[in-house]
Structure 1
């Protein structure tokens, strides 16, 4: 009986010491384009600490396929509706929303660590659950970033937030600006010390977090590809350089860490093989379609032939065809394909599209047939130039130097590849044809 009474007194006086806290990692998914990073994050969290559940709030835009893929990764899926920003008239992109405030209403958990889907934990981050009632990282200014933050759930706070959605200012039109307004006192809070040596502060239950818990890759690249601190969480904040976008490789070397996590997640599956087969099939289909278009145009279009074509026209046409081929090939490749097969696919499509279209132009404008050998030589020349650029860039360790060389390679390819196409597919075939007529007997009598 005495033990029962003692236990009851402990439960009343120190409930947290007797009843274990319920923790969860939570993210919000409102676009199917973020499915792969969501799966990678789920895999990494489970690998680092499988005892803490990972929940993703999916909005009405998410397909059943995406939901099933998330569940296959052990994600607990919560269906909910998106909370639009009050600035939706001028902020229509999907990232501008207030759905994150729903986390405060998830009172089935005591403490939640929110993670944007474009982050990658490098080690167990469960120490964050002890930081306080609200914690976030300040970067570059007196505004904190909402990609990673910690909160203690509270329905009263949630309802109060809902009441302030329409009236509170948001400097960026989204949840980050709103949260900075709502928790404007966070900047005065002490820094959280995960070692447990943090002094208690009666005035604040909130804490600021070290940059290592939300390390902006912009800081890494501004420091010429060097970390200022050893990050627990890497945040891929730069929009056009997200690590699941194949064209960001090999320039942004920090993306390789995310790609390693993706490869681990997909290990044992046929995803990579299936991607290669699909890309190869599309590439072959494109070549066939281009050859059909070439044959149709050469057969039906006859009124474009002329006796002389200016150098300016051949320069302009060659440049335009190459730029169109690059743009078209980038659009054709799926943005989240694995970088190496995607680059091979892009390079091959660029090469054959540019070569076939340029040879078609030569036939339509001059009446001269371009040999298959010339088309093949242009294709292989293009693929070789891209392959050499890729290999050289992967060997350059310093980011600034790598960017400089990447710019030089782009300019060099634009000049060399287009010049080679113009010579091999326009100038040389026309000169060979003229030379052929010149060696005919009594050629000067030929009309």
Structure 2
């Protein structure tokens, strides 16, 4: 009997232990499931229909990778229109770790406005950020942002925060929001009913939707653990009464560490374009991030092919110089005069093309050091055609190229005390170089005129003129 009671007691204890283990196991599964996602998200958007779709695709990937490299405590979301290529979506998801949310394009009723820019036709897709209701807070970003340090303090924002780029207008390239289905539906209704929109894009619409943001308290995230610009900030765990407020991010350039760098401004000076550096000094940091994460394998074959072509042009024109400078003419004053004018026109445009064509054919998103090297090689190659064809002095033709190289060195000098000093030095260099550049142009034109007057290109034929319509090699 006593033995039976012991067995029963043992079985009861065993059942209790099994129940405890199962409860612990189930609890562990729940925690693991909860840790798979994040409460907050960094989001950006992609859409198609512009000549620069590939450039913005590369920029989006670099933005995502700059955040992933910092191991931010948030999901990385890309709001993509349905026409974004599937291979791009797979790269974002499988290689970059982003969550791609496919959405239907929001019809833009403002595209008929007089001041509307067609490249902003689908920027209202940014409103989908308010539909990401699985998250408590979302930092909405344009592709021209680059994160260098964690800024997860941004998620302390209320319902809406934005950075003012001037005393009256905040920038929609970086703002924080609290997703809400009601707000999203109200925004879509406002779009459909034609709510006032100054520029017809997301900047004007969101600015009009939050017209009194400037009057709200200011939220200043504790970047780098200190109050960098002397403005008050929102302490950890403190809740403000205001439903939304504006924030001020401090970019310490170039004296201190940067947390996030935004590149607003001219479209053709975005950091991913190789020619934007050293015009934009911080652009090199964007390319360093790309080099360390995404790389340049996509552009490398084109760079190698173009380099071989440019070197081949230089060699061919040098070897063929005795032949390509020989021209023919008809022994007539009227004909000679018209041909001379045509030769001047072709020579001038050949030199201009030598400096402009490389900008059009070099891959836009390669590293600036590679891009500028390839540009100089291409300009020398195309200039050699004009030099050897029209017997022009090489030094004078290359003076503008030397001037461009000098300006790059002046702009890339890293030890200026501030931006004002840098601007003054660049202006001083341009002021000193202008007479030299103009003098080289004058000498090239004078040299070309002398050669034509001496009939270097059109030597007189023998006394007996050839039959009408015939040509003779010189």
Tell me which interval the TM-score lies in, with the shorter structure as reference length: 0.7 to 0.9
Matched-pair contact (CA < 8 Å) for 1:29–1:56: yes
Equivalence for 1:339: 368
Equivalence for 1:87: 110
The yes-or-no answer on 1:325 pairing with 2:354 is: yes
Shift of 1:105: 1.1
Give the 5 Å matches for 1:46-445: 46-71=68-93, 72-90=95-113, 91-96=116-121, 97-166=123-192, 167-195=194-222, 196-197=234-235, 200-202=239-241, 204-212=242-250, 231-239=258-266, 240-266=268-294, 270=297, 273-274=300-301, 276-284=303-311, 318-357=347-386, 359-360=388-389, 362=390, 370=391, 384=402, 386-395=404-413, 397=416, 398-405=421-428, 407-408=430-431, 411=434, 414-415=437-438, 418-419=441-442, 421-422=444-445, 427=450
Shift of 1:86: 1.5
Aligned-CA RMSD value:
4.3
Equivalence for 1:7: none
**Larger radius of gyration, structure 1 or 2?**
2
Shift of 1:117: 0.5
CA change 1:407–1:337 in 2 (3 A) is: farther
Shift of 1:109: 1.9
Equivalence for 2:229: none
Moved more, 232-241 or 322-331: 322-331
CA change 1:309–1:409 in 2 (3 A) is: farther
Shift of 1:405: 5.0
Equivalence for 1:35: 57
Shift of 1:416: 5.3
CA distance in 1, matches of 2:76, 2:382: 45
Shift of 1:44: 0.9
Matched-pair contact (CA < 8 Å) for 2:387–2:393: no
CA distance in 2, matches of 1:300, 1:77: 62
CA distance in 2, matches of 1:327, 1:180: 39
Q: Give per-residue Cα distances to partners, 1:191-230, cap 9 Å, x unaligned.
A: 114355386443x221211132xx6xxxx9xxxx767x96
Q: Give per-residue Cα distances to partners, 1:359-381, cap 9 Å, x unaligned.
A: 44x4xxxxxxx4xxx78777876
CA distance in 2, matches of 1:409, 1:171: 43
Shift of 1:329: 2.2
Moved more, 349-358 or 380-389: 380-389
What's the secondary structure of 1:113's corresponding residue? strand
CA distance in 2, matches of 1:352, 1:21: 54
CA change 1:310–1:393 in 2 (3 A) is: farther
What's the secondary structure of 1:321's corresponding residue? helix
CA distance in 1, matches of 2:441, 2:427: 21
What's the secondary structure of 2:218's corresponding residue? coil
CA distance in 1, matches of 2:132, 2:374: 45
> Which consecutive residues of structure 2, in runs of 5 or more, have no partner in the other structure?
1-33, 48-52, 223-233, 466-474
Shift of 1:309: 8.6
What is the aligned residue count? 399
Structure 1 length as normaliser, TM-score?
0.74
Matched-pair contact (CA < 8 Å) for 2:55–2:272: no
Shift of 1:395: 2.7
Matched-pair contact (CA < 8 Å) for 1:348–1:383: no
CA distance in 1, matches of 2:360, 2:429: 21
Q: Give per-residue Cα distances to partners, 1:306-365, cap 9 Å, x unaligned.
A: 6679998877654433223323221112222221222222223233323314644x4xxx
